[in-house]
Amino acid sequence: MRRSIAIAAAAALMLLNVGCGRRQDASEPAPAGGLPPLAGRFIGPQPGPNRPLAQASNPYGMDANVLAEGRRLFIWFNCYGCHGGRAGGGMGPSLRDPDWLYGNSDQAIFNSIAEGRQYGMPAWGTKLPDEQMWKITAYIKSMGTEAEPDAPPANPVFPRAAPNPVLPGAQARLGGG
């Protein structure tokens, strides 16, 4: 019985290394405990480009008709399904806060829509024309500004945004250090 458990464990370890397309090179030290470290290693192809993309500004600007059309497309293509109805976050990140992992320039937002991103953002570049992706980009850029179409109502509990404890100086505002 013990021998069959040991054989099964050894087979599972081999499948982890071989089944995931990962080989242990002779130059790489054997991991402690026999399990390979998974942090920073991906299984299968990852969405998003692995090359630098051109920088451009939105050809549609912040025209009110473009922003309204961008909101309509945001809803039509179910962006709110992940980012929330007013893009405040859900399964996907908030598009209203100042923290943007991949940048908040017109081109960076367009690239995120077109090429997708790791951890769940699908690539829409093969499904939508550039015109529609630029209009969605314009709508996202309008969030939190006077130009935003159909903006959410003010929060009665926090009329101003709560301080972000990660930002510099936030601890002083929160009464700490």
pLDDT in tens, the chain (177 residues): 665 665 655 555 554 444 444 444 444 555 555 555 545 555 555 555 666 656 778 898 899 999 999 999 999 999 999 998 888 888 999 998 888 888 889 999 999 999 998 888 999 999 999 999 999 999 999 998 889 998 888 777 766 655 555 545 444 444 444
In total, how many domains does the chain have?
Answer: 2
In a domain, 136, yes or no: yes
Q: Are 80 and 137 found together in one domain?
A: yes
- 173 is a domain residue: no
CB atoms within 10 A of CB 120: 11
Range of the structural domain that residue 74 is part of:
64-142
Q: What pLDDT, on a 0 to 100 scale, did the predictor assign at position 142?
A: 93
Contact 74, 103 (CB under 8 A): no
Find the helix or strand (DSSP H, E) in which 136 lies.
helix 130-142
Query: Residues 99, 40: one domain?
Result: no
The verdict on 135 and 90 lying in the same domain is yes
- Overall pTM surpassing 0.75 (yes/no): no
Q: Is the same domain home to 40 and 75?
A: no
